[in-house]
A and B are shown apart, each in its own frame.
Chain A
């Protein structure tokens, strides 16, 4: 790089550093709070399942749309079981239900066994 370019970059850097030093107390305080909020994140347990919620919602919406398109005249009829389940899953309590998915699948197996018995 040319020496004139280097001299320009050096002057720009010095000028920039000066504005960094001039940051007011209120801004520094907000930066401090932001840093502590970030550090608190390190102590939070990760919620892996929550990453899949948007994809689950989109998949459910697509499924419902396909079922409606295949049977457009069936709006007055009772919902098929799969759609009814999806409606429950997407309801307000769906998050708790997703967390207890293992429990519900066990419950399903037990009910089937009882039906057979």
Chain B
């Protein structure tokens, strides 16, 4: 093999290796997003109480992660993804405040949170009796409203720790605060939610048995 052929072969091998790495990265990111997307949607949906808006926020977070952070290690993706998503939810709330101010100036309200019922439209795949299904829906709806009404940082800490299952360190990265702050926000959130949902406890069916 002459020198020119050898250089060409090395160049081709290098290009092929880069292509293979990019393909692997894309497959890894695809698996990561497929694994996280449904929970992310529900978390965003509880945050903004609108499925279409939540879908837009999740898509935006996916695109930003792919565009800016796909080169990072896989361990970093979950907190980074949720950091982007939580920033999106915060921005959405800021825009809503401005929108509501403008709408109230013209004597109208932009939206009424309590009208929204994300659970109601969903079919029951577990095939339960209508009464039990209704109680489950009501309990989850109460929980969603209570979580939505928490202060923003408590809501984020609770959803990331409880719903997504992030540890304290990952939650701190996602929220952009210290681990101590995460523990404080999370503890306050759990206590506030328990206090608020106490009235549902006689028929509390949040994932447990119906108490009669």
Which A residues contact B (CB, under 8 angstroms)? 1, 4-5, 8-16, 18-24, 27-28, 30-31, 34-35, 37-39, 41-42, 44, 46
Contact = CB atoms under 8 A, between A and B. Distances in A.
B137 to A, nearest CB: 9
A27 B207 contact: no
Contacts, number: 116
Given A9-B162, A16-B143, A39-B29, 10 more contacts: A11-B204, A12-B206, A12-B207, A13-B165, A18-B207, A20-B42, A22-B125, A31-B41, A38-B62, A39-B26
Interface string B175-212: 00000000000010011011000000000101110000
Contacts of B33: 35, 38-39
Contacts of B162: 9, 12-13, 16
Contacts of B173: none
A59 B207 CA distance: 57
B123 interface: yes
A65 to B, nearest CB: 26
Contacts of B126: 18
A31 B25 CA distance: 20
B30 A39 contact: yes
A20 B39 contact: yes
A27 B67 contact: no
A8 B37 CA distance: 25
Contact of B41 (A14, A27, A37, A39): A27
Interface of B: 22, 25-26, 29-30, 33-34, 37-39, 41-42, 51, 55, 58-59, 62-63, 65-67, 70, 118-119, 121-126, 136, 139-140, 143, 161-163, 165, 187, 190-191, 193-194, 204, 206-208
Nearest to B197: A8
B80 to A, nearest CB: 13
B57 to A, nearest CB: 10
A5, A28, A41, A42 — which one has the most chain B CB atoms within 10 A of its CB? A42
A interface, over-half SS: helix
A15 B135 CA distance: 12
15 contacts: A9-B190, A11-B208, A12-B193, A14-B208, A15-B207, A23-B38, A23-B122, A30-B55, A31-B38, A35-B30, A38-B29, A38-B33, A39-B26, A39-B29, A42-B25
A13 B157 CA distance: 14
B6 to A, nearest CB: 30
A23 B62 CA distance: 19
B143 A38 contact: no
A27 B123 CA distance: 13
A17 to B, nearest CB: 8
B58 A12 contact: no
B143 A12 contact: yes
